[in-house]
A and B are shown apart, each in its own frame.
Chain A
Amino acid sequence: MAVVETENEAHDDHHDHGEFIAHHFDSAEQQFDSGKLGIWLFLVTEVLFFSGLFVAYTLYRVLHPEIFDQAHVFLDKYLGFANTLVLLFSSLTMAVAVRYSQLGKNGHVVWYVLGTMVCAAAFLGVKAIEYTHKWDQGIFVRSAFDYHPGHHEAPAGTLAHALGVSEYLIWLSIIPLLLVVGFAVYAAIARMIEKPNASFFSACMAIAIGGYFIGALAGHFYMEITDGGLGGRSEKAAALMAYENETHSDDEHTNKPVDHHDESAVEQQRAESEIAPYQGPQSDEFDQDVGIFFSIYYCMTGLHAIHIIAGIAFLAWILWRSILGHWRSDYFGPCDYVGLYWHLVDLIWIYLFPLLYLID
């Protein structure tokens, strides 16, 4: 009948070879199945979390199809396309990383996870270029929307001016720069105090986050080459910009392309925008409507970007455990779960790309 067994016996029975099996699970498979169901449920919550934004998107697109048709030309579809490829590729490397974790080949996992992280950071770099380019032109959310087309040079004497980039980009890049430098320095220190794992991990992290600058540079040069690239829709965009300028100001000056080296012209333009300030929400029908599109755009892509950042943090954890060699054929759960999360982030982008960039 019922056998009274002590905890220790029970312990020995079940935990024959599992240093990573938590005490309340009977077997590695039960633990894995629990985690797997847990992460799928978490992904369900993520889908429903994003669903609110899709509802907002759908409602406003149904109500104002003309705005969406007009507004999306301000998004560069080739940058969006490039980012899609980057994310798809990162999904591929992640899937391969999961495969090697299932085979217990930790060394391989390290490289594929690192590849995934570089892609993730590069995605953010391109995104930073896209965002800052719009901010320069006053393309903000609904209430702050104040579109003024053309080139926008940073004030002379600033770092941004010297580099020929947006001031916003400098601010955005501070954190990744600090992280890269910090990890690189720590990698060197850890090497000196003979902590090889920590050193290797930090070096990997510096490289991974360095991906941000790869993405940002690529995006920047693309913008330079295409002159503020609008993804092959220059005619339509030019027409809209002309319309914009008419509604904004009667002055002819604003239509002139501003000379990059002529500071006075820049200042003149700034002065003009101060003379004709934004007239409040009801002043301009077009602004109002396009502003709503960008509210939704920033909410959707911003939330997505936050998920990418969280993904990088999770991947860093996987990277560290891969370096420690934790994965084996009966224990690879965390790598699989983070992989699933990463694919979901990719999945959401698969929908965001046509919804936001390819409206025609």
Chain B
Amino acid sequence: MSHNHDSGFAHPAAPKLLIGVFVVLVLLTILTLFMSTVDMGLMGPFGFWIAMSIASFKAALVLLFFMHMYWDKPFNVLVFLSSSLFVILFIGLTLMDQSHYKKSVDEYPRQPDTPNMSP
């Protein structure tokens, strides 16, 4: 790692490292594409999760090396990763509420559980 000598806060990444990361990213992209092209009957419902895991691994590579997270202050890393926590919270709690959904307004039951209140 070629550190700059006259200033403490610059961490130039080595070009070899960056190109290596790029190659890995491209290979992973090809892998994802290949997986979707070949019918992966073996994977069944896990196909989505595998694709997402690969995407997350790619994202981690970009974050760590292209975005210098590897050399960054821990607080900055914490700040960014906390965003994913809140995204999961948002998606998770909203998704828990999917059972009420109906495709058309007419399918909603009128006052499902209350007895007829009108005199």
A329 with B13, Cβ < 8 A, contacts A85-B29, A88-B26 known? no
Residue count of chain B within 8 Å CB distance of chain A: 56
Residues of A within 8 A of B58 (CB): 350
Q: Tell me, in angstroms, the Cα distance from A62 to B96 when the chains sit together.
A: 11
Interface residues on A, range: 35 or more
Contact: A51 with B90, CB < 8 Å?
Answer: yes
Residues of B within 8 A of A320 (CB): none
CB < 8 Å neighbour of A347 from B9, B12, B63: B63
Q: Which 6 A-B pairs have the closest CB atoms?
A: A358-B36, A102-B10, A44-B83, A102-B12, A92-B22, A51-B87
Contact: B13 with A351, CB < 8 Å?
Answer: no
Which residues of B pack against A, CB within 8 Å?
4, 6-13, 15, 18-19, 21-22, 25-26, 29, 32-33, 35-37, 39-40, 47-48, 51-52, 54-55, 58-59, 62-63, 65-68, 72-73, 75-76, 79-80, 82-84, 86-87, 90-91, 94-95, 98, 101, 104
Which residues of A pack against B, CB within 8 Å?
28-29, 32-33, 36-37, 40-41, 43-44, 47-48, 51-52, 54-55, 58-59, 62-63, 77, 81, 84-85, 88-89, 91-92, 94-96, 98-100, 102-103, 232, 282, 329-330, 332, 336, 339-340, 343-344, 346-347, 350-351, 353-354, 357-360
22 A-B pairs with CB atoms under 8 Å apart are: A28-B9, A29-B9, A47-B80, A52-B90, A58-B91, A63-B98, A81-B29, A85-B26, A85-B29, A91-B66, A92-B66, A95-B13, A98-B12, A98-B68, A232-B37, A329-B10, A330-B6, A343-B63, A346-B62, A354-B54, A358-B51, A360-B47
A44 with B79, Cβ < 8 A, contacts A92-B18, A95-B66, A343-B67 known? yes
